[in-house]
Structure 1
Amino acid sequence: MSRPQEPHRPFFSFGNPLRMILPKGSHLSPRLISLLKSFEESLAGKLKSLIPGGGEDVISLLWMQQAIVSLSQIHIETKELITALEFPASDWDEKWIDVYLDNSVRLLDICTSISSEITRINQANLFLSCAVHYLEGEEKQIMQACSSLNGWRQHMNSQNPRLERCFEKLNTLTESLNLPKIKNSAKGKVLMQALYGVRMVTIFICSVFAVAFSGSVGNLKELEVLETCLWADAYVDLQGFINREMRNIYSSGAATALKDLEAIHASVEKLHPIIQDGVNPIGADVLPHETSGLAKMADRLSKGLDGLAKEVDGFFQIVLTGRDALLCNLRIGSNNASPSQENNAEQPTLR
C-alpha cells in the first residue's frame, strides 16, 4: 500500500512527548539499544500484519480477532521487556505508577464495554435463529418469522450506554500520552519509549473497535506519532488505511462498518418484504434460498462473535494480571524496606 505523498501530521494537541521520552544526558548501552530495537521492530511487524489486503476486509470479526491477538502479544512482550531490563516495579517513578494504574482501570472498563456489545449482538442473533426456524419447517410460521426479524431490527437499533462511555475513557487515555517527566535514566528511557508505543497502539485499536460497533465515525482517532520510533511508518499506514476505509463505508450509507453485520442487515432487508404480507408464488420460489443464506450468515456471526469474545477476555486477563503483578511487586518492595530505609529514602525514580 502506498502512503500519501504528503501525509497529514497534526500537532501534538496533548503536548510533545518527545522531550519526556528522550531526556538529555541518558546514554543507551548496546544491550539496551538491542532490546529497544527488537521490541519496536516486533511492534512494527504486528502493525503491518493488520493492514488488510483490500477494502472488503475492513472491518470483519476475523480482522478484529487478529487485532486483539496482536494487542495481547504486544502487552506480553512489554512484560518480557521489563523483565529483560531488570527494572523492578519498585524502581518506577511514583507518578508513572499512578498513570499506569489509572490507565489499566480504564482499559479494563473498555474491555468490559466491548464484551457487553458482543453479548448484545449475540442476543440479537437469537432473533435470526428463531426466524430461520420458523421459515425452514414444512408448515412455515410467517407471522412469527416476521416478528423475529422485527425483533432483530429493534435490538440492533438500540443503544449500548457502556459502549458510548468508551470514547470518554479513550479520550482520557489519549490525554495521558502527555507523560510525567522522568529523571535521566537509560533503562527508564527504554521503558518510556516502549510504553509510548504500547499506549499508542492500544488506544487506536480500541477506538477502531468502539467506532465499528457504535457507528460514531467522528470518534476515530488521528494520533500523531513520533517519527523517531521504528514502528512510526507502520502505525501511520495502518491508521490512515483503516480510517479512510471506515469513513468511506459510513459515507456510503452502510448501517455498520462491520462486514459480518452489514451482510446480515442486507439479508434481513431482502427477506422481510418477501414474508411480511404473506408469501406469494414468486416469493415462495426464492424463500428457501434466502432463508438458507441468512441461516449460514447467522451461524458465522455467532462463531465470529464467540471467537472475538474469547480474545477480548484473554486481553482483559493480560491487563489484569499485569496490574496485579505491579501491585504485588510494590508490596514486596515496601515490606523488604527497613524502617530506616523508608524514612531516609527519596521518592522512587526511574533509573
Structure 2
Amino acid sequence: MSRPQDPHRPSFPFGNPFRMIMPKGSYLSPKLTELLNSFEESLAQRLRMLMPADREEILSLLWMKRAVESLSAIHTDIKTLITGLELPVSDWDEKWIDVYLDNSVKLLDICIAFSSELSRLSQGHLFLQCALHNLDCASSKQFVRACSSLDGWRQHIGSKNPRMENCFSILDNLIKTLNLPKIKNSSKGKVLMRAMYGVKVVTVFVCNVFAAAFSGSAEKLLDLQVEEIRLWAEAFAGLQGFVNGEIRSIYSSGKATVLKELEAVDANVKKLYPIVQEGVGEEAEAYKNSVSDLGKRAEKLSQGLDLLAKEVDGFFQIVLSGRDALLCNLRVGTNVTDQLQEKKNVEVR
C-alpha cells in the first residue's frame, strides 16, 4: 500500500524551528510536527495536573484514581495520534507490532495484580464492620469479639500479596523496551515511536508507584531519566521527583503503608485497641469519638478502594480494546493480502 509523501524540506533562513523537536539528522513535515507537539503538550499538561497540591494528597486513593484516569486518557490520546498520522497497521513494522502486543500483555497482567490487591484490601472492610458492630455494645463479651475483629483486620492488611512481587519483574521487562524499536526512513514511524515512548514512560512510572505503595516498600521504586528535548520532560521530572521523594520519606520513617486512607484507619485502630482491651472506664468520651472516627474512616477507605478498582478495570478495558483492535486490523490486512494474491494467481492461469 502506498503512503502519502511528505512535502519537500523547506528552507529556513533563521534556522530550522523543528530542530528541537527531533534529534539532529531527523526531519518532520509541519503537519507531523504539529501532531507530535500536540500530543506531547497534552501529555505534559496531564502530568502537571497530576502534581499533588501538598504531601497529604500523595498516595491518597483519590490521587491514585486520578493517576489511572490520566493513564486511560493518555492511552486514548495515542489512538487519536495514530489516526491523525494516517499510518495504517499494514504499514507498521513487525517490530513495532511485536513490542506493542508484548507490552499490552504485560500491562494487562499488572492491572490484574492491582485489581487483586484492591480486592484484598476491600475484604478487610468486613473485619472493621464486625468490630464496629460489637463496639456498639458496652459488654465485655462484645469487646472481646471486637478485639478479635481488629486483630483480624491488622493481620489481613499486614499480609503480603505475591502478585505485587511479580509486578516489579514485569515492570523491569517493560523498561527494557522503552527505547525500542529503532526507526529508519519513516517520519511517521518516528513520530509514532516517540509518542509511544512517552506513553510507556508515564505508564511505567504510575504502575511502579502503585506497586511500591501496595508492596509496602520503596526498595524497588524507580527514577526514570528522560531527555530534556521532550516537551513533557520537565513536568515528568517534577512529578516523579516529588512523588518518589515523599514515598521514600514515608517508608524511611517506619510507616507500614503510604496509602493515606489505609494509614488513617490503622492509626485509629491502634488508638482504639488498648481502650477496648483495658475497658472504657473514664475514657468513655474518647472511646465514643474513636469509634465514630473509625466508622467514618473505614467507610472512606472502602469507597475509595471501590472507585479506584473501577478505574483500574476501565484502564484494563482500554488496553484490551486497543490490543484487540490491532489484532483485528492485522487479520483484515492478512485477508486482503491473501485475496489479492489469489486474484493474481487466477489471472496468471
Instruction: Please say if residues 136 and 288 of structure 1, whose CA atoms lie closer than 8 Å, have aligned partners that are also in contact.
Output: no
Q: Which residue of 2 aligns with 1:77?
A: 77
Using CA pairs below 8 Å that are at least 6 residues apart, which structure has the higher relative contact order? 1
CA contact under 8 A between 1:23 and 1:182: conserved in structure 2?
no
Residue 239 of structure 1 corresponds to which residue in structure 2? 240
Query: Distance in 1 between the 2:314 and 2:199 partners?
Result: 17
TM-score normalised by structure 1 residue count: 0.88
Q: How does 1:62-101 map to 2 (within 5 A)?
A: 62-101=62-101
Counterpart in 1 of 2:253? 252
Kindly state the Cα deviation for residue 188 of structure 1 after the two structures are TM-superposed: 0.6
* 1:176 maps onto 2:177 in alignment: yes
Q: Is the 8 A contact 2:143 2:276 kept in 1?
A: yes
Amino acid at match of 1:135: L
CA deviation profile, 1:263-291 (whole Å, cap 9, x unmatched): 111111111111123x1412333211100
Query: Deviations along 1:182-213, whole A, 9 cap, x unmatched?
Result: 22111111101100000000000000011111
Separation in 2, partners of 1:25, 1:255: 50
* Runs of 4+ displaced beyond 6 Å: none
Unaligned runs of 5+ in 2: 1-20, 345-349
Deviation per CA, 1:295-315: give whole Å up to 9, x if none: 000000010001000100000
Report the TM-score when normalising by structure 2: 0.89
Residue 308 in 1 paired to residue 311 in 2? Answer: no
Alpha carbons 1:99, 1:176 under 8 Å: kept: yes
Instruction: Tell me the CA shift for residue 26 of structure 1.
Output: 4.7
| Corresponding residue number in structure 2 for 1:109 | 109
Which residue pairs with 2:56 in the alignment? 56
Aligned residues: 322
Deviations 1:32-54 (A, max 9, x none): 11111110000000101111111
Q: Would you say the 8 A contact 1:131–1:145 is kept in 2?
A: yes
Sequence identity of aligned pairs in percent?
Answer: 61
Contact 2:217 2:251 (C-alpha < 8 Å) held by counterparts: no
Which residue of the partner structure matches residue 206 of structure 2?
Answer: 205
Amino acid at match of 1:40: E
SS in 1 for 2:219: helix
1:42 is matched with which residue?
Answer: 42
> C-alpha deviations, 1:63-86, integer Å up to 9, x for none?
000000011000001101101111
- Give the 3 Å change call, closer, same or farther, for CA 292–276 of structure 1 in structure 2: same
Q: Provide the aligned C-alpha RMSD in A.
A: 1.8
Distance in 2 of aligned mates of 1:207 and 1:341? 47
CA distance in 2, matches of 1:156, 1:89: 46
Q: Is the 8 A contact 1:40 1:194 kept in 2?
A: yes
Corresponding letter in the other structure for 1:120: R
Shift of 1:130: 1.0
Deviation at 1:178, TM superposition (A): 3.2
Counterpart in the other structure of 1:297:
297
Distance in 2, Cα, partners of 1:186 & 1:23: 12
Q: State the match for 1:284 in structure 2.
A: 284
Does the aligned pair in 2 maintain the 1:207–1:220 contact within 8 Å?
yes
Larger radius of gyration: 2
Aligned positions of 1:311-322 closer than 5 A: 311-322=311-322
User: How far does residue 139 in structure 1 lie from its aligned partner after superposition?
Assistant: 4.9
> Residue 187 of structure 1 aligns with which residue?
188
SS of the aligned residue for 1:218 comes to: coil
Query: Is the contact made by 1:23 and 1:189 (CA closer than 8 Å) also made in structure 2?
Result: no
Q: Does 1:332 align with 2:332?
A: yes
SS in 1 for 2:178: coil
Given that 2:280 and 2:287 are in contact with CA atoms closer than 8 Å, whether structure 1 keeps it comes out as no
Residue 29 of structure 1 deviates from its aligned partner by 1.2
**Matched AA of 2:221:** L
CA change 1:23–1:337 in 2 (3 A) is farther
